[in-house]
Amino acid sequence: MQTRNLTKLGNLTKHVGHLGHFGKLSITAFSVAMLGACQGGPPPGSGGQAIPVEIKTVELGDIQETTEYIANLNSRESVTLQPRVSGQIAQILVQAGDYVEAGTPIIQIDPTEQQAALLSTIAAVESAAAAAASTQARLEDVRSVLRSLEASKLANLSDVALNQRDLQRDAELVQEGAITQRDLDTRVNSLERAQATLGQVEQEIEAQKARVLAAEADLARSERLLVQAQADAEEQQALLGFYGITAPFAGTVGDIPVKVGDFVDSGTQLLTITQNEQLEVEINIPIERSPELQVGLPVVLLDSNNNILGESQISFIAPNTETVTQSILVKAIFDNAEELLRADQFVRARIVWSEGKGVLIPTSSISRLGGQNFVFQAVPPEEIEQEEPPEGTEADPEQAQRSPIEATPANAQSSEDSENQGPPTFIAVQKPVKLGRIQGNSYHVLEGLEAGDQLVTSGILKLTDGAPVMRLSDLPPMDGPPDQAPKGS
pLDDT digits 0-9 by tens, 286-297: 999 999 999 999
Q: Are residues 122 and 233 in the same domain?
A: yes
Residue 14 lies in a domain: no
183 and 273 inside one domain: no
Q: Are residues 236 and 249 in the same domain?
A: no
The number of folded domains in the chain is 3
Give the separation between CA 283 and CA 299, rounded to whole angstroms: 10
Of 356, 380, 410, the residue that ends a domain is 356
Whether residue 219 sits in one domain with residue 168 = yes
290 and 343 both lie in a single domain:
yes
CATH code (residue 155) = 1.10.287.620
Same domain, 210 and 137: yes
Its domain, for residue 310, covers 66-77+269-356
- Choose among 469, 468, 465, 405: nearest CA to 35: 465
Question: Same domain for 195 and 125?
Answer: yes
Residues 288 and 236 in one domain: no
Is 309 a member of any domain?
A: yes
119 and 208 fall within a common domain: yes
With a cut of 70, list the residues of the chain below it in pLDDT.
1-48, 385-424, 477-489
Q: CA triplet 295, 300, 304: central angle to 5 degrees? A: 150
Distance CA 408, CA 180 (A): 173
Q: Is residue 102 part of a domain?
A: yes
CATH of the domain at 306: 2.40.30.170
Angle among Cα 167, 170, 172 to the nearest 5 degrees reads 115
- Statement to judge: residues 201 and 276 lie in one domain: no
Domain membership flag for residue 211: yes
What is the pLDDT at residue 383? 81
Residue at which a domain ends, from 356, 389, 424: 356
Do 257 and 175 reside in the same domain of the chain?
no
Q: Residue 88 and residue 50: Cα distance in Å, rounded?
A: 86
Instruction: Establish if 371 belongs to a structural domain.
Output: no
One domain for residues 117 and 215: yes
**The CATH number of the domain where 256 resides is what?**
2.40.50.100
In a domain, 235, yes or no: yes
Residue 123 is assigned to a structural domain of this protein: yes
Q: Please indicate, yes or no, if residue 473 is contained in any of the structural domains.
A: no
pLDDT for 11 equals 41
Domain boundary among 356, 382, 403: 356
